[in-house]
Structure 1
């Protein structure tokens, strides 16, 4: 099976039904979480929060480690701060936080929710008062997603992407893998052999490609395990989305009980049919491009030997993922 072997989406409705459940968008880094999160964030029904788990993001939670696996035991220590983020879905709370955050910006550093609310009031005034639910987009929340779902009755969107696309993106940006942060952590994955491989991995003893291959396998295997445990979650393959972005995003909006307006549809069409970037150009968060061309772009960016190794070590798992999702 290939990304082009389309799975028929469920027929969708054009309007939402008024849900106030939080939304979590997560998945392996460089799998399209930002694109999907931003499209969802265009809805006036949503208060969009960008990567609060990411210690490299401008506004983030104080957490002891990247990719923290929150659960019933360690989640309590961070519950109060995350409660405040989730409360930003309520207009009254959001206005209070925004006004307090604006005042505290002058006198000192406001809390995270206050900073986010004040910033949204300044830059998204038109939709600030309309939002009735939170959307948190963050690949670093991947291993915390089940706790977030259970604790806050969140709806979760999990992204998956072809290994060539993920790895070529990392290499083009000259980013190291996340294995330095992940190795040695207690990662909740049932595949014991893979778990041991992750725990024993020492980035200094391996190449960048070694780390990226292991990272992709870890997130993909964990995604398949989530699919079994959480069949009600939305699992979205980036490569399929790129081929028919409007069709798949309409389905996502319907399942999230969000209205898919003509304005959102029009912007999505413009952003996914734009001219592709010039040869060799790769920008971290550029989303206005020919999405269909993006599916196979990794083949042009990668050295043939690197591409062959990626497919040799991940091809079987990729096929398994496509069949499952």
Structure 2
């Protein structure tokens, strides 16, 4: 059986990539691969999944450095798991359990003709390369900027702009990132998150060969939204898939409880009411913060 093109679901972290990726595997036509470009361990630094060394968050991949990445990512999207490399890097029983999980999923998926689905927010700035060189069908999630910044604030997240600005090829191809420079050492996490959202939004808007989808449109009507995504990706939509998606998107739990850092994947999905997840989007921000985020992210 011949598999179709691999899939990449990307977007800034906290934009709904894990949820979307899980829903796109509800039809059993794709194998979920969690964040191979995450520089942390886990889920990154897994040579069985990706035989390449990730050194930066939002590691930039383009034709100028493709010799370092193309062979490894071709193995990943072909679901060729490197057991020997993973065994040599194993450090704990957890690593062994994860090797068995992913090794089995890759092998069975390849034999069944399934497609690789990479859920990787850290690939968002390299989305054009994934589409052009790996032939990926790319879906990029974008969340409303107030909801995005509020989510990062609630979790206490930030990102070092030095990791972005210190990649010359990335800045060359995405000069929008230069506007992050004045905020590189700023303690203003709201302004930093808003600036990252704005730069990424502008980059995605001009990136060829990808589909940009808003988190809010999917959450408001998940069955219709995912039916359209299945069609775009060439995945089979069926009554069984519709039931699975409907059940998964109408469960209990608030917006921050939709996913939990547990299990082997570290992003285990839990049922959530996706419409309820839209309420309280600005929680964690003051009214003044909301006004400022709107101003900072305006086109």
In the superposition, the TM-score normalised over structure 2's length comes to 0.80
**1:59/1:42 CA distance change after superposition, 3 Å:** farther
Q: Could you list the per-position Cα deviations for residues 231-253 of structure 1 after superposition, in whole angstroms to 9, with x for gaps in the alignment?
A: xx222110111100110101111
Contact kept? 2:254, 2:276, Cα under 8 Å: no
Equivalence map 1:48-197=2 (5 Å): 48-56=32-40, 57-60=42-45, 61-88=52-79, 94=80, 97=81, 101=83, 108-109=88-89, 118-120=100-102, 122=104, 129-186=111-168, 187=170, 192=175, 194-197=176-179
Q: Distance in 1 between matches of 2:140 and 2:211?
A: 6
Q: Could you list the per-position Cα deviations for residues 149-203 of structure 1 after superposition, in whole angstroms to 9, with x for gaps in the alignment?
A: 12121111111110111111111111123534223433357775x4332244323
Contact kept? 2:11, 2:17, Cα under 8 Å: yes
Q: Using CA pairs below 8 Å that are at least 6 residues apart, which structure has the higher relative contact order?
A: 1
**What is the CA distance between 1:85 and its match in structure 2?**
0.7
Q: Distance in 2 between matches of 1:180 and 1:263?
A: 46
**What is the CA distance between 1:115 and its match in structure 2?**
9.0
**1:216/1:287 CA distance change after superposition, 3 Å:** farther
Partner of 1:221: 202
Q: SS at the partner of 2:281?
A: helix
Deviates more, 1:156-165 or 1:57-66: 57-66
Q: Kindly tell me the number of residue pairs found equivalent between the two proteins.
A: 278
From the CA coordinates, give the structure whose radius of gyration is larger.
Answer: 1
Contact kept? 1:47, 1:135, Cα under 8 Å: yes
**1:191/1:71 CA distance change after superposition, 3 Å:** closer
Partner of 1:42: 26
1:251 aligns with 2:228: yes
Q: SS at the partner of 2:64?
A: coil
Contact kept? 1:190, 1:225, Cα under 8 Å: no
**What is the CA distance between 1:125 and its match in structure 2?**
9.1
**What is the CA distance between 1:44 and its match in structure 2?**
2.0
Q: SS at the partner of 1:298?
A: coil
Q: Distance in 2 between matches of 1:189 and 1:288?
A: 41
Q: Could you say what the CA RMSD is over the residues aligned between the two structures, in angstroms?
A: 3.1
In the superposition, the TM-score normalised over structure 1's length comes to 0.75
Q: Distance in 2 between matches of 1:238 and 1:174?
A: 21
**1:258/1:281 CA distance change after superposition, 3 Å:** closer
Contact kept? 2:165, 2:171, Cα under 8 Å: no
**What is the CA distance between 1:129 and its match in structure 2?**
4.3
Q: Distance in 1 between matches of 2:275 and 2:223?
A: 12
